[in-house]
Structure 1
Amino acid sequence: MVFVSELKEARVKSSFVEALWRRLSEYLGLSEYEAKLYVSLIEVGQATARKLSVFSGVPRTKVYPVLKRLIDMGFVTEIPGEPKRFLPVPPNIALKSYLQTYRNITQNLLSLISTLEDALKRARTQEKLRQGSMWTINGKQSIFKKMREMLINAKRSVYIITNGNSLILLSRMFSRLLDELASRSVKIKIITTNEQNSKYLVKELKYLYDVKVFDFQFPLIVLYVDHEQLLMSYIQSESNSLKCEDEAIFSNNPVLRRLIWAYIVNYS
């Protein structure tokens, strides 16, 4: 009758064991039998091997070897007597080392995530700096507006590379602004072509700025400010009208800036 009573009780308790042993096995790496016996002991409090076999569903021949492993692992305590009884070590004690291990793993994982996030941010920043940006500007009015903006915000240096015709045009547009920059100790360097129509202007500008004249053909206007901003424009020589459609590119691309700087140094 006792055995039948235990069977009835086991059916009631089995849902508790089934609900927890899989999670215990997954979280702690216990075998199925180890997890079932420990959860069963938690449920019944203490029990003989025979009773544990009934409650847990673990074959009786396997119960003693599994209990021995649980004792060695600190999950179960053996109560001497005849028959032997087994008592579960409270979860807050038995699982303490596992909990600390998981806390350490979590902390290390958080640290790793933080390190990886920092590395990703640096990589994105470097990639952004490496790639830079480039915009197209259409129309002479828009081009000169951008040039004025760049000059107004110049802090350290202004480099201009252009031909004689465009130098005359730039002087008309920005002479006062260039003088203001020079008065603020902003370095101004002009590299231009040797042309008859601009030689008198070049002579005047040499008194004010660092001007270099070379015999080469150069159809563009290059404005390079503070080693950070670059504008390159093709101004159509046949017309100085502000309504004439011209094109320019504005960029902070580091590769393009290095190429232009190498060009400037070559003609310095």
Structure 2
Amino acid sequence: MPVNQERMRKLMDHGLTEYQARAYLTLLDLGAATATQVSPMSKVPRTRIYATMRQLHQKGLVQILPESPLRYKPVPFEAYLQTLAEELRSRAQQIDTGQESLAREFAIVAEASPESAGRFEAIYGRKNVRERLLRMYTTAAREVIGIGTTKSPGRILGAFRPDLVERASQGVQLKYAFCFTPDNRDDVRILLRHAQVRHIDFMMPVYMHVVDGKEFLMSHPIPDDDSAYRGDDIAIWTNDPAIAGAMSEMSERIWAMGRPAADVLKEPRPPRRVAVTRP
């Protein structure tokens, strides 16, 4: 059969070089031959033919006949494939056996760092901010803390009331703190059915949510109104462990220093409010 590109490609796919493939295919046609006979027919240069024949012998594809001059006889390719398959199986078994120890020995050092950095996102538009908060509420397993503006009670009820009911029924603690006003007291009373609500004596220009100490979102409501969907709000969200943990601690302290809603709502007049001003 001719020495063609297709047959050479198949041999090269099984570990032979081009010169080795040419010489082996030529030997298959000749049966047994000297190197000088193989060279012109295989188009392997005479300067490379002896080295090529030695390489084929090392691969087990050629027998060297001790004659003068030396003659070379092809070994059936099936025998070579069987030997190759056994070597590959043995190698695969060695890799499988040593996989765990090698993985530990050559592990990426950066992955062993005790701290991991989280992600950050900037979110634009009240609808998009609401969707992010919904996902946060959905993952809540232990606690949600929200510190908000005077309009937050109405927005929370309008956007998340079914989720509040579900989370509360599953034992998730819902903690909120706002500055109470005559306009938001009715919403606060409704929110009290599902959450622990407290009054803080200063107005927040932004609102914050922390879920399980793992996710944190702070948003500037633009405008600060009752709509749960319409607004040009801008927010930042992160699940960075250090930042989320710090903001969880801060939010917990703000909530803890507030007065329980039940006590405040008994008072005939709203408590004095102090606005937080930007520097």
Q: What is the TM-score of this pair, normalised by structure 2?
A: 0.49
For 1:41, give the aligned amino acid: L
Higher helix share: 1
Q: Which residue of 1 aligns with 2:125?
A: 136
Q: Post-superposition shift, 1:222? A: 3.9
* Mapping of residues 167-182 of structure 1, within 5 Å: 169=154
* Mapping of residues 62-211 of structure 1, within 5 Å: 67=53, 70-71=56-57, 73-79=59-65, 85-94=71-80, 96-98=82-84, 130-131=119-120, 134-137=123-126, 156-163=142-149, 165-166=150-151, 169=154, 185-193=171-179, 210-211=196-197
Q: Post-superposition shift, 1:43? A: 0.8
Aligned length: 232
For 1:265, give the aligned amino acid: E
1:22-68 Cα shifts (integer Å, max 9, x gaps): 87578645583x55443222111123556445644567798677656
Q: Post-superposition shift, 1:189? A: 1.9
Q: Post-superposition shift, 1:218? A: 1.4
Structure 2, gaps ≥5 residues long: 109-115, 257-279
1:109-162 Cα shifts (integer Å, max 9, x gaps): xxx9xx9xxx9xxxxxxx9x7245735216xxx999998998899765443323
CA, structure 1 residues 40+260, in 2 after alignment: closer, same or farther (shift >3 Å)?
A: same
Moved more, 90-99 or 225-234: 225-234
Q: Which residue of 2 aligns with 1:45?
A: 31
Residue of structure 2 aligned with 1:220, choices 167, 191, 206: 206
Indicate conservation of the 8 Å contact 1:160/1:224, yes or no: yes
Q: What is the TM-score of this pair, normalised by structure 1?
A: 0.50
Indicate conservation of the 8 Å contact 2:147/2:209, yes or no: yes
For 2:248, give the aligned amino acid: W
d(CA) in 2 for partners of 1:18, 1:179 = 72
d(CA) in 2 for partners of 1:151, 1:54 = 78
Indicate conservation of the 8 Å contact 2:123/2:129, yes or no: no
Indicate conservation of the 8 Å contact 2:141/2:212, yes or no: yes
Asked if 1:264 is matched to 2:251, the reply is: yes
CA, structure 1 residues 106+134, in 2 after alignment: closer, same or farther (shift >3 Å)?
A: farther
CA, structure 1 residues 231+154, in 2 after alignment: closer, same or farther (shift >3 Å)?
A: farther
d(CA) in 1 for partners of 2:74, 2:134 = 82
Secondary structure of 2:3 counterpart: helix
For 2:233, give the aligned amino acid: A
Residue of structure 2 aligned with 1:232, choices 202, 219, 237: 219
Of all paired residues, the percent bearing the same amino acid is 22
Structure 1, gaps ≥5 residues long: 1-12, 120-126
